[in-house]
Amino acid sequence: MSKTWIIDPSSIEENRGSFVYLVYYKATVEMKRGKDVRFLEDFTITQKDILDDICPDDDVFISLWSYPQIELCRLLYLRIPQAKFFGYSPLIMEERLPLYIMSREEIYQGIQHYAFYTDTFKHLLLSDCDGHLKDRPEVYPLCGIEYGCSRNCSFCPVTPNLPGKTKISIPLIDTIRSLENYQKKTPGSGVHFTDEDFFRDVKKAKFILEENQRLFEDKEYGPSVIALGSVNTFTDFLDSFNTDAEAFRFCKKVGLFLVEIGLETADHGLAAHMGKSKIDAAVRLAERVRQAPVKILWLTLSLSPGETIASLNATGDFLKEYGLNPKEMSPRIRTNGTRAGLGQFFQKYPGTRDYKSIEEKGMTLSTRPSRLIPGFIPHSLLKDRVKEVDNSRKEEYEYWLSLYGAPMMTFFEGGRVHQMIDILPYPRWQSIISVCVAGRLGIIR
Ligand code: SF4
């Protein structure tokens, strides 16, 4: 019997949108079909001997969903000519590798049965945010209501990669079965709902949270849930209760511990260009949950085209008020949702709205960009001029720089950002972190 090989080349990326899970969905579907599956997770070249076992009539699917995987994918293609590549389709097409697009039916089946195969996987790939639930026995990722997002924000690769650009709806029965299975396998496990917007259907979200809580009766732990949402839908969710007090009692009861919302920036103009919610609505929501048991992790994107010192100041000012306290977070996640935590750095992704014009909009630092290392600096920031400098907060500046290992910088009024980073003996990707941190803290304005 021929075998089915699924190879996920190693990447330094942890997560970048729901399509990262496709490799697990594909492995699930093939196992469910009864195929003889060899799933090589986090494949590196040290495992190369195993490739000798691949026969010419075996099916081979290799995932390519992030830039750092490209070289390994090229090498594997030379070695395995029958391989097909799936993951982030526009990048695979740009690489001119043979493309395999998972159908909507396959993605749905993968989500439907994924929970039943988790014990056959070596890794459960989660976003950084699982660090918020580090006291749980295990944190499971689950797409609870729908896969994908059709909002097509200017920078985001989720919509361009969605088959047919239409979201895939997950029936409630499948979600409840998956949750039951997780609790059977690892009682007390936390759940991270990977839907791009878990609160888009308020009634379904409430039902799933209540059903999840039911599974914790008689258990040592209460439920613990992380979910992604948006300003508008999480506001609608809170509005669906008679009072905020009632809404927050519900959140506490069902263990809704953290809601992640992609703010990206608190600069009005930049947010509008990206296609994000209005900042005033984000402020209203942030005020509403200030004392609530459910916290919001405001996710941000730094160095996107249009970023300026003023936009860094605006985001820093927002997160000073409404961000999480880094000292209360596990170390590796302190750089997101916090005042000078820069979140993800902008990556140019083929297929996104701004991709074709991106070269004119800034300086590319890497042809293999990743989320947590600056790979692009927009001209809007490079050309920006420092108008005010506050040199009195050295200790605070040092603390935030230490989270990145970034160098201390001295700023002067009237200087442009590109002049300041070019006189330093550090790589630009490192110096620009120091500029952004200073901007977030208001050390430069
Ligand atoms: S709302 Fe925008 S950023 Fe979030 S998943 Fe959808 S397209 Fe991407």
Residues 6 or more apart whose CB falls under 8 angstroms from that of 356 comprise none
The protein residue with its alpha carbon nearest to ligand 1, atom 2, reads 153
pLDDT at position 324 over 90: yes
The pLDDT of residue 130 is 67
Q: Which atom of ligand 1 is nearest to the CA of 230?
A: 1
Q: Nearest C-alpha to atom 8 of ligand 1 is from which residue?
A: 156
Instruction: Report the predicted TM-score, pTM, of the whole model to 2 decimal places.
Output: 0.94
pLDDT score recorded for residue 139: 87
**Mean pLDDT on 39-64:** 95
Our mutation pick for probing the ligand 1 site, out of 147, 149, 228, 347, counting the most ligand atoms within 8 A of Cβ, is 149
Residues 137-164 have a mean pLDDT of 90
What pairs with residue 416 in β-bridges? 385
Over range 120-148, report the average pLDDT. 81
Cα 363 to middle of ligand 1, angstroms: 24
Establish whether domains 4-104 and 124-348 are of one fold: no
Q: Give mean pLDDT, residues 134-163.
A: 88
304 closest CA partner among 229, 243, 375: 375
Which tokens belong to 427?
């790589």
Mean pLDDT of the 157-181 span: 94
Band (pLDDT 50/70/90 cuts) for residue 165 is: confident
Instruction: With a cut of 80, say whether residue 296 has pLDDT above it.
Output: yes
Distance CA(279)–CA(276), nearest Å, equals 9
Residues with CB under 6 A from ligand 1: 149, 151-153, 156, 158-159, 196, 262
The predicted-structure confidence for 352-389, as pLDDT tens digits, reads as follows: 988 989 999 999 999 999 999 999 999 999 999 999 99
> 316 alpha carbon to ligand 1 midpoint, in Å?
22
Probe target for ligand 1 pocket from 20, 159, 274, with the most ligand atoms within 8 Å of CB: 159
What ranges do the domains of the chain cover? 4-104, 124-348, 357-441
Q: How far is the CA of 92 from the centre of ligand 1 (A)?
A: 21
CA dihedral 131, 141, 343, 334 (to 10 degrees): -10
pLDDT bucket at 26, cuts 50 / 70 / 90: very high
Across the chain, mean pLDDT equals 93
| Ligand 1 center–CA 156 separation, angstroms | 6
Distance (angstroms) between ligand 1 centre and the Cα of 390 equals 36
Rounded mean pLDDT, 426-438: 97
CA 159 / ligand 1 centre spacing (Å): 7
User: Ligand 1 centre from 261 Cα, in Å?
Assistant: 10
Please state the separation of Cα 334 from the chain's center in Å: 15
Spatial distance between the Cα atoms of 306 and 308, rounded to a whole number of angstroms:
6
- Counting atoms of ligand 1 from 1, which one is nearest the CA of 18? 5
**Which CATH fold topology does 4-104 show?**
Rossmann fold (3.40.50)
Atom of ligand 1 nearest to the CA of 275: 2
Going from the Cα of 347 to the center of ligand 1, the distance in angstroms, rounded, reads 14
The sign of the CA dihedral 51, 56, 58, 62 is positive
Ligand 1 atom having least distance to the Cα of 264: 3
Q: Let me know if 363 is exposed, middle or buried by CB neighbors in 10 A (0-12, 13-18, 19+).
A: middle
pLDDT of residue 361: 95
Residue 16 has pLDDT above 70, yes or no: no
Closest atom of ligand 1 relative to the 228 alpha carbon: 4
How many whole angstroms from 196 Cα to the centroid of ligand 1? 7
Tell how far the Cα of 234 is from the centroid of ligand 1, in angstroms: 15
Q: How confident is the model at residue 1 (pLDDT cuts 50, 70, 90)?
A: confident
Question: Which ligand 1 atom is at minimum distance from the Cα of 156?
Answer: 8
Mean pLDDT of 230-255: 97
In this structure, whether the domain defined by 124-348 belongs to CATH 3.40.50.720 is answered with no
Measured CA to CA in angstroms, residue 213 lies from 179, 187, 192 at distances of: 10, 12, 14
Of the two residues 333 and 87, the one the predictor is more confident about is 87
| Ligand 1 atom closest to the CA of 149, numbered from 1 | 6
- What confidence score (pLDDT) does residue 20 get? 87
- Output the CA 310–ligand 1 centroid distance in Å: 24
CA of 151 from ligand 1 middle (Å) equals 6
For the cut 80, the answer to whether the pLDDT of residue 219 exceeds it is no
> Is 295 in contact with 339 (CB distance < 8 Å)?
no
Question: Which ligand 1 atom is nearest residue 151's CA?
Answer: 7
Query: Looking at ligand 1, which atom is closest to the CA of residue 274?
Result: 2
Q: Is residue 138 very low, low, confident or very high in pLDDT (cuts 50, 70, 90)?
A: confident
Q: Whose CA is nearest to atom 1 of ligand 1?
A: 151
**Which of 145, 156, 259 maximizes ligand 1 atoms within 8 Å of its Cβ, making it the mutation to test the pocket?**
156
Range of weakest confidence among 95-104, 211-220, 339-348: 211-220
- Residue 286 vs residues 51, 322, 336: alpha-carbon distances, Å: 51, 6, 16
Which DSSP symbol is given to 444? B
Instruction: Say how far apart CA 435 and CA 439 lie, in whole Å.
Output: 6
